[in-house]
């Protein structure tokens, strides 16, 4: 099995606030991230697919196709957006890196699956900053 990773960047705003918490609790738990005017990050997403290369093309999947999927499903929906207001999949959730990578997995897995004949989405790594990242993979890996 061969793995292929494509990297992309998007910029987005967010803040953390749980309406069930008091103002004081929100500040204590979320710190500066609770600032209601929001703040932003340059997110970096690494998308890894795993599979056997097609003997006709030598490829797991066509990188142009992967780029089109990522442009449509990630860049168009997340780049220069506000995660609290502009992304319906995050409604009712705190838009942390953990929640965001789970949303990206649920979007990308079905989008990529029909394009790979002998493989699958293997792994997502989402960097919020160089010092903080989350990994998402299939259960049992």
Partner 1 sequence: MKLSLTRRYSFPASHRLSRAEWSDAENHRVFGKCANAHGHGHNYALEVTVTGSINPATGMIANLTDLDSFVRARVLDDFDHSNLNEQIPEFRDTIPTTENLCRVIFRRLSRFSHARIERVRIEETAKNSFEYVAETAPSRETAEYEFQEEHS
Cβ neighbours of residue 71 closer than 8 Å, sequence gap 6 or more: none
SS3 assignment, position 64: helix
| 94, 107, 108, 116: residue in contact with partner 1 (rule CB under 8 A) | 94
Binding residues for partner 1, how many (CB under 8 A)? Answer: 29
Give the active site residue among 39, 80, 117, 118.
Answer: 80
Nearest to 66 by CA among 112, 120, 110: 112
Asked if residue 16 binds partner 1 (CB under 8 A), the reply is yes
Say if CB 31 and CB 39 are below 8 A apart.
no
Cβ neighbours of residue 96 closer than 8 Å, sequence gap 6 or more: 16
Asked if residue 99 binds partner 1 (CB under 8 A), the reply is yes
Asked if residue 120 binds partner 1 (CB under 8 A), the reply is no
Cβ neighbours of residue 35 closer than 8 Å, sequence gap 6 or more: 15
Part of the chain binding partner 1 (CB under 8 A), chosen from 12-20, 44-52, 61-69, 74-82: 12-20
Closest contact distance (angstroms) between CB of 73 and partner 1 is 17
Residues 28-47 within binding reach of partner 1 (CB under 8 A): 29-31
Decide if 136 is catalytic: no
Considering beta carbons, is residue 12 or 101 the nearer one to partner 1? 101
Say if CB 126 and CB 133 are below 8 A apart.
yes
Considering beta carbons, is residue 81 or 93 the nearer one to partner 1? 93
* Phi/psi of residue 110, nearest 5 degrees: -70, -25
Residues that bind partner 1 (CB under 8 A): 16, 18, 20-21, 29-31, 93-99, 101-102, 105, 130-141
């Amino acid at each position: 099995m061969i793995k292929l990773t494509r990297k992309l960047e998007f910029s987005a705003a967010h803040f953390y606030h749980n309406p069930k918490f008091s103002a004081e609790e929100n500040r204590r738990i979320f710190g500066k991230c609770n600032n209601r005017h929001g703040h932003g990050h340059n997110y970096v997403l690494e998308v890894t697919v795993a599979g056997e290369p097609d003997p006709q093309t030598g490829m797991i999947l066509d990188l142009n196709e992967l780029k089109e999927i990522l442009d449509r499903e990630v860049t168009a929906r997340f780049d220069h957006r506000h995660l609290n207001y502009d992304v319906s999949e995050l409604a009712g959730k705190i838009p942390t890196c953990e929640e965001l990578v789970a949303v990206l997995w649920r979007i990308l897995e079905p989008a990529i699956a029909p394009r790979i004949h002998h493989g699958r989405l293997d792994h997502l790594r989402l960097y919020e900053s160089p010092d903080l990242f989350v990994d998402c993979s299939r259960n049992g890996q």
